[in-house]
Amino acid sequence: AQSVTQPDIHITVSEGASLELRCNYSYGATPYLFWYVQSPGQGLQLLLKYFSGDTLVQGIKGFEAEFKRSQSSFNLRKPSVHWSDAAEYFCAVAAGLTGGGNKLTFGTGTQLKVEL
Amino acid sequence: DSGVTQTPKHLITATGQRVTLRCSPRSGDLSVYWYQQSLDQGLQFLIQYYNGEERAKGNILERFSAQQFPDLHSELNLSSLELGDSALYFCASSIDTDTQYFGPGTRLTVL
């Protein structure tokens, strides 16, 4: 069965510093990978996705992620963090199911705090 | 704004009661998914509907049921509610089995 691990529960960075959030996945086939962000009291907003092709994908709000098959990783990066980036970040893998169904399996999330 | 709408935003009810959560997918999306987010379980997939038919089932309790109507909106029915059902319930939609776009969620509190 597929799984996603986000090893960092909390991360604190200073505004303007670079950021890397780690994500490792386990999935038998070629994975479809996603990063979502959840601000307090809000829904999940899609930051970026990887389906195939270029392993470095660009997303919204200046985020990017790199797919590394050899390491089963899909880490999220941002060169310079803004205070408004403080939120919870979720990595997810899409799994096809019997009968053509589909579901996302999420990691436990990383809470990002930005110090001014 | 993802284009997925959910009502109500908040719901407070008592144990043993029944509630209905509603979701309208993005225009053109045929698939609707329901997820539960709780502190102890995280984000869990409940069920998927595609063009009115159930397509996939996850960790959905027997007390919970869902349906998708001809206009493609979906409802999640939760019955015989327990304290542990308190959670944030998200609906997501996609064109087929593609990228899922999430609504703002319904926060359910069972007292």
Q: What is the pLDDT of residues B1-59, one digit of tens each?
A: 889 999 999 999 999 999 999 999 999 999 999 999 999 999 999 999 999 999 999 98
Q: Mean pLDDT throughout B71-85?
A: 97
Top-confidence residue, A17 or A29: A17
Classify strands A32-38 and A87-96 as parallel, antiparallel or unpaired. antiparallel
| Residue A101 to residue B2, Cβ atoms within 8 A | no
For A10, the 3-state DSSP assignment is: strand
Which of B40, B41, B102 would best serve as a mutation to test chain A binding (most A beta carbons within 10 A)? B102
For A61, the 3-state DSSP assignment is: helix
| Residue A49 to residue B99, Cβ atoms within 8 A | yes
- Pull the structure tokens for residue B12: 């407070």
B-chain CB neighbours of A96 within 8 Å are 97
Q: What is the pLDDT of residues A54-110, one digit of tens each?
A: 899 999 999 999 999 999 999 999 999 999 999 999 999 998 776 677 899 999 999
Q: What is the pLDDT of residues A20-57, one digit of tens each?
A: 999 999 987 778 999 999 998 889 999 999 988 889 99
pLDDT category of residue B95 using cuts at 50, 70 and 90 = confident
Question: Percentage of residues in chain B with pLDDT exceeding 70?
Answer: 98
Given this model, what pLDDT does residue B109 score? 98
Given this model, what pLDDT does residue A49 score? 94
Which of B97, B98, B106, B107 would best serve as a mutation to test chain A binding (most A beta carbons within 10 A)? B97
Annotate B23-85 with three-state secondary structure. EECCCCCCEEEEEEEECCCEEEEEEEEECCEEEEECCCCCCEEEEECCCCCEEEEECCCCHHH
Given this model, what pLDDT does residue A98 score? 67
